Amino acid sequence: MRAMSFELRDRDLLGRIGRLRTKSGTVETPAFMPVVNPVSQAIPPRRMMEEFGCDILITNAYIFRKHFGDMLDLEIHRFLDYNGVVATDSGAYQILVYGEVEASQEEIIEFQKRMGSDIAVILDIPTGWDVPRSKVEWTVEETLRRAEAAIPLIEGDEALWVGPVQGGTHLDLVERSAKAIASMPYQIHALGSPTEVMESYRFPILVDMIMVAKRNLPPERPLHLFGAGHPMVFSLAIALGCDMFDSAAYALYARDGRYLTPHGTKRLKSLSYLPCSCPVCRRRDAEELRGMLKGERVRLLSEHNLHVTMSEIDTVKQAIAEGALWELMEDRCRGHPALASALRGLYKYRDDLERGSPSYKGRGLFFFDSGCLARPEITRHIKRLEEQYLPSVTKGKLLLILAPERRPFNKAQQYARLKRNMEEGLDQASRDFHVCFYAPPFGVIPIELAETYPLSQFETAEPLDRETLEFASDSVARYVAKSSHKEVVIYSGKGTLDVLVESKCREACQEKGKELSVVSDLKPWGSEAMERLVNALRG
C-alpha cells in the first residue's frame, strides 16, 4: 500500500475538495467514477476523459478476470486505452447479486495487483437490503476478518486500497464496522450498500448511515459511497463528507430509456422537450432522439447522462469553493419530498456540520425557512452568543430592539433616529443599557456584532415560517435568562415574532426574578413609540 496522499484544498459543511495522489496521477475529489464494463462500453474510456472530463473511472476486476484472466501482459490502462486513474471493484457486488463468486479474496487481490489498478478493494461482503440482523452481523464481521486478512497481502503494493464499511441500515453495526476498519491501515474507506436505500427513496436513513460512518472514520481518508451515481444525491452526500462515487447508472439508465437530471429521473418516452443544456440535448430535440435506432439512442442517452453527472460534480465543487453548498443541497433536495425530509433531518447533525465548515466565505446568507436552521452560520452564532459572548457584558439594563429593515442594523436609518432620540432624551445615568437587536433566524444580535459576518449579510424570505420564529424567540428568551442584567426592556412591534419574544421573555424574567418592561407599538419606528421608549428608560 502506498503512503497516504490525500490533501484537502477547500471545504464547506462536511464537504471538501481534495487531491488524491495515485500511482497513475492525481485526481481531484469529490470525484465520480463511471463504471466501465470491460466487455461492452457505450462511451470509450478515452472519450470519457477527453470530452467528459473523467480523470478517473472504475471497472470490475472480477468480471475482467473471468473474461481476460488468461491474457499475458494484462495492464488495465493499456487494455482500456485510458491514461487516467483506474479503480477496480472486487466482485463484492456480484456476491450481493449471486450470493458468491468463483474466486477467493487472495486471487482477487492478486489479480488487481497484476492488472495494475490504481485503487483497489478487498473482497468484502456487502450487507444488502432487507436481510435479517444475524445476516447483517455476519457481513460486518466477515468483511472485517477479510480486511484483516488482506493486510499482509497488500503490504507494499503501489495501489491505494479501500477498506469497506458494512452494516446497511443497522446504525449500531455501521458504527462497529467503521470503528474497526478505521484502525486498519487502509488509505480509503467506502460505505457499502446504499444503492437499495437510494432506490427506495429512504434518504433520511441514508443520511444517518453516512453520518455514523463519517463520525467513526479518520477524516483524513477519503470516503467512497459505493454504487451512488444519481446526480440528485451528490450535493447531499458530499455535504455529509463523501468524496467519491461510482455507478453504472449513466449507462444502465440509458439502456432502459431513462434520462437523468440533477433533480431526478425522467423517461425519454415521456419527454416532449429536452430540459438540459448538454451538447447532446442542445443539438437535437426529444422527438429526434426517440426516433433513433436503439444503439444510437442508447449511446446518446448515455452521453447525456454522463454529461449531467459530471457537470453536477463541477457544480458541487463550485458550491464548495464559494461557500454555497448548503444552498445547492437545498435546491437539489426539492427534487423529491424524501430528499426534503432527509434535509430536515440534518438538524440533529448541526454540530458536525458546524465543525466542518469554515467560518467565512464572503458571501451573504440566504435564509428560506426552518429547514435552514441547521446551517453552520446559525449554529455558530447561537454557540458564540451563549458560550463566549454572554459573560463579558456588564452594562446595567438589557435593551432588546426589534431589527430595523436594513442591515447592518446598527447603521440603519431607523435605528439612527431612535439612537438620537435616546441620546437627546436621557441623561448619562439612564443611558446605561446594552443594546441588542432581535431578528430571525439568529435571535439576539448584540449591537457590537451587527457588522460582523453573517449578521450584516443575510437575506430572508418573507413571511418566515412559524418554526423559524419560534427558534429565534426561544433563543432570545434563553439569552435573557442567562444574561447578568437584572432589568430588561423590550422595544418591539406587533408582529408574530414580537408577540413570541415578549411572551417568552416575560416567562424567563419571572423565572429568574428580573424586571421586564415592554414598549410595543404598531409603528415602532414612529416618533410616538420612540418617545414612549425614552420615557420607559428614564423611569
Place of cell 464572503: 362
Q: Candidates 241-249, 333-341, 430-438, 489-497 — which segment interacts with a second copy by CB under 8 A?
A: 333-341
Q: Candidates 62-70, 169-177, 273-281, 490-498 — which segment interacts with a second copy by CB under 8 A?
A: 273-281
278 binds a second copy (CB under 8 A): yes
Q: Considering all CA atoms of the chain, what is the largest pairwise distance in Å, rounded to the nearest integer?
A: 96
Query: In sequence order, what are the residues at sequence separation of 6 or more whose Cβ sits closer than 8 angstroms to the Cβ of residue 507?
Result: 477
Choosing from 12, 89, 208, 498, the catalytic residue is 89
Angle at 174 between CA 170 and CA 180, to 5 degrees: 150
Q: Candidates 41-49, 96-104, 167-175, 367-375 — which segment interacts with a second copy by CB under 8 A?
A: 367-375
**Binder of a second copy out of 133, 145, 269, 282 (CB under 8 A):** 282
**Binder of a second copy out of 70, 72, 130, 273 (CB under 8 A):** 273
Rounded to the nearest whole angstrom, what is the least distance from the CB of residue 204 to a second copy in the complex? Answer: 8
**Which grid coordinates are listed for 241?**
463528507
Q: Candidates 68-76, 154-162, 308-316, 419-427 — which segment interacts with a second copy by CB under 8 A?
A: 308-316
* Contact pattern from residue 17 through residue 56 relative to a second copy, giving x for each residue in contact according to CB under 8 A and a dash for the rest: ----------------------------------xxx---
Rounded to the nearest whole angstrom, what is the least distance from the CB of residue 502 to a second copy in the complex? Answer: 19
C-alpha span between 45 and 34 (Å, rounded) = 9
Query: In sequence order, what are the residues at sequence separation of 6 or more whose Cβ sits closer than 8 angstroms to the Cβ of residue 480?
Result: 398, 400, 488, 505, 508, 509, 512, 514
Q: Is 89 a catalytic residue?
A: yes
Of 338 and 518, CB closest to a second copy: 338
Q: Under rule CB under 8 A, which residues in 447-506 are in contact with a second copy? A: 459-463, 465-467
C-alpha span between 262 and 311 (Å, rounded) = 9
Of 36 and 328, CB closest to a second copy: 328
Q: What's the 3-state SS for 393-411?
A: CCCCEEEEEECCCCCCHHH
Rounded to the nearest whole angstrom, what is the least distance from the CB of residue 341 to a second copy in the complex? Answer: 5
Beta strands in 452-530 (DSSP E): 458-460, 487-492, 515-520
Burial class (CB in 10 A: 0-12, 13-18, 19+), 527: exposed
Q: How far apart are the first and last CA of the chain?
A: 76
Three-class SS state of 168: coil
Q: Interface residues with a second copy (CB under 8 A)?
A: 51-53, 263, 266, 270-279, 281-283, 285, 307-308, 310-311, 314-315, 317-319, 321-322, 327, 330-331, 334-338, 340-341, 344, 366-371, 459-463, 465-467
State the catalytic residues. Answer: 89
